[in-house]
Amino acid sequence: MTTALVTGANRGLGRHLALELLARGATVHAAARRPETVDLPGARPLALDITDPDAVAAAAELAGDVDLLVNNAGVSTGSPLLGDLDGVRAELDVNFWGTLSVVRAFAPVLAANGGGTVVNIASALSWFAAPGAGAYAVSKAANWAMSNALRLELAGQGTHVVSVHLGLADTDMAAGIDGPKTDPALVARRTLDAVDAGEFEVVVDDWSAVVKASLARDPREFYAAYLPA
């Protein structure tokens, strides 16, 4: 039976991932900065701030039975790269450095438990930049590249790595943004189905598929709508 740790499990996509894992019979460590906000019957709340090295190390000690690590915790500040540098650093600290810190701490745990799987929640913004999301795009591009590198580095211990890409999900993070939004329960199901199938990457929605396909073409085509005529 799977034993999973989900970061940022108290709300949004993380909560839906934890719910889907529980429905599939998994044991779930539901990690959050404030574990008292986790309201998932059957889950094991766990205090974890992924930007705090001591908290990450403590979580790896407490959750030594994990064979599925779901790195969902993330932040979006809306910072452009030429704007508030604290916001830029915050996004990289969580979406890249914090996620990498958790993987580094749990890699020996996964190895001891047979290899297991790491899931990193990235974004369609791993593959393009949009106005008002410069820092987020950079952080998620780094997250995607990290997944590809970790897949190679962890293969020797039998650990599989899955990168998940989506546009807007209907969660608190996207509450103030207009546009089509995917049901987070569907994102969770597709993600865990991909884990079961041994896939490398999950392209959740049509928008993400369009963005990824654009990478093979002249970038001027994609960015024409965002730039002055």
Reported as a single tens digit per residue, the pLDDT across 152-172 is 999 999 999 999 999 875 656
Indicate whether 176 pLDDT > 80.
no
What pLDDT was estimated at residue 107?
98
Measured distance CA(48)–CA(85) in Å, rounded: 25
Measured distance CA(175)–CA(191) in Å, rounded: 22
Helix H or strand E encompassing 5: strand 3-6
What's the N-to-C CA distance of the chain in angstroms? 56
Annotation marks residue 140 as catalytic: yes
Give the domain ranges of the chain. 3-223
The structure's pTM equals: 0.94
Level-2 CATH architecture, domain 3-223? 3-Layer(aba) Sandwich (3.40)
Are 51 and 97 a contacting pair, CB within 8 Å?
Answer: yes
CA angle 195, 198, 204 (to 5 degrees): 55
Measured distance CA(115)–CA(132) in Å, rounded: 39
Annotation marks residue 181 as catalytic: no
Mean local confidence (pLDDT), 201-229: 91
Q: In this predicted model, what pLDDT tens digit does every residue of 87-142 receive, in sequence order? A: 999 999 999 999 999 999 999 999 999 999 999 999 999 999 998 899 999 999 99
